[in-house]
Amino acid sequence: MEAKLGEFDLIWRFFKAGSESMAQTQTDQVLLGIGDDCALLGPDAVQSLAVTSDMLVEGRHFFSNANPQWLGHKALAVNLSDLAAMGAKPIGFTLALALPHADSTWLAQFSQGLFRLAQQWQCPLIGGDTTQGPLTICITALGHVPFGAAIKRSGANVGDDIWVSGTLGDARLALGALRSEWPLNQSSLEAVLPRMHEPQPRIALGMQLRGIASSALDVSDGLLGDLRHILNASQVNAEVLIDQLPISCTLAEQTEHLRRQCAANGGDDYELCFTVPTSKRMEVESLSTTLLPLTRIGSISSASNGTEPLLILRDANGNQLTAADSVRLMQSFDHFKSN
């Protein structure tokens, strides 16, 4: 029997390989293709164009009775978050929508959530496509970034600090409570629900990190799994202080197991995880006081020299977690393997 194909194996085997085999026919306009938060196109020598697509599917990414206003917000937020991860400034977006039926109340609320966020970041809707079908929302966002200034996943260097913005794990805590995976009292649930429904793309931070961060990505599938993408792309190993991950007061009240699971492995946070040389630590600390809290969670320890990158987890006392605990914490979300 064929082994279960994961999301990334699938993309790499059938799409990245195909796109690379076209390399000779490609123009030199494609500066960066599949594998990062955005593709980069080089229309001129001053600005690069950053392009990203993300899709939300009913029953997979949201419950069928989801509030349409939140959906409109989230569909755009997850795309703007990918622009933020590259340090790009939003320019505009397209919207491809499959709808089971045309419900004007639903559409009014959906567009309200969508345009409120679009307005906040001066990012207009510039086109799209609409069809009947199972509710699916696909947005493609475009941004620009000065030539050579985009922050890629592949730039992390040995000795760099690893940082993360805001707090991690609340979206997963809320989702687990809604799915009855664990109990959560009403006031705690209300405190964490906005993190699940209305994530805030860290665009201002991403733009400020140009010239400071050596690599970055947005945390969409869980911190440790996503950090692995940086390690793979940069060919480096890392150490992370698992009890140093920034969490909200609400998550801090939960058991150690739940705290660690949600913070290390919970998806849908849309914070930025980035690496910075130690010589620029003060610049990050200053952004942390002016923009939003930024926390140092570990470091890039060594080069992986072409082998599978190592991610070592340490507890509050600096002790390395057991292999079993590490494995449990490192299972980030994969749309196909988790079926």
Residues that bind ligand ADP (CB under 6 A): 11, 15, 34-37, 54, 82, 220
Closer of 109 and 136 to ligand ADP (Cβ): 136
Binds 271, which of ligand ADP, Mg ion, none (CB < 5 to 8 A, cut-off by type)? Answer: none
Judged by beta carbon distances under 5 to 8 A according to partner kind, the member of Mg ion, ligand ADP, none in contact with residue 34 is: ligand ADP
CA distance 226 to 64: 27
Alpha-carbon distance of 80 to 118, in angstroms, equals 9
103, 165 contact by CB (below 8 A): no
C-alpha span between 38 and 19 (Å, rounded)? 15
Tell me the residue type at 331.
Answer: Q
The verdict on 37 binding Mg ion (CB under 5 A) reads yes
230/251 with CB nearer ligand ADP: 230
Smaller CB distance to ligand ADP: residue 63 or 336? 336
Output the smallest distance, CB 37 to ligand ADP, in A: 4
Q: In the complex with Mg ion, which residue's Cβ is closer, 68 or 222?
A: 222
Instruction: For residue 214, report the phi and psi dihedrals to the nearest 5 degrees.
Output: -90, -25
* 37 vs 239, beta carbon nearer ligand ADP: 37
The partner in contact with residue 35, picked from ligand ADP, Mg ion, none with C-beta cut-offs of 5 to 8 angstroms by kind, is ligand ADP
Given the rule CB under 5 A, which of 36-44, 55-63, 106-114, 166-174 is the region that contacts Mg ion? 36-44
Q: What is the layout of strands, in order, in the sheet containing 89-99?
A: 30-32, 39-41, 47-57, 136-146, 89-99, 125-132
To Mg ion, the closest distance from the beta carbon of 334 in angstroms equals 14
Cβ atoms of residues 284 and 276 within 8 Å: yes
Fill in the DSSP letter of residue 68. Answer: H
Distance CA 34, CA 15 (A): 8
Minimum distance of ligand ADP from residue 216's CB (angstroms) = 11
11 binds, among ligand ADP, Mg ion, none (CB under 5 to 8 A by kind): ligand ADP
Stretch that binds Mg ion, among 102-110, 159-167, 215-223, 310-318 (CB under 5 A): 215-223
Q: Are 304 and 310 contacting, i.e. CB atoms less than 8 angstroms apart?
A: yes
13 or 257: CB nearest ligand ADP: 13
Nearest alpha-carbon partner for 155 in 32, 285, 23: 32
| Cβ atoms 272, 217 nearer than 8 A | yes
**Which amino acid does the sequence have at 206?**
G
Counting contacts by CB under 5 A, is residue 218 touching Mg ion? yes
**Interacting residue with Mg ion among 36, 54, 82, 239 (CB under 5 A):** 82
Site residues (vs Mg ion, CB under 5 A):
37, 82, 218
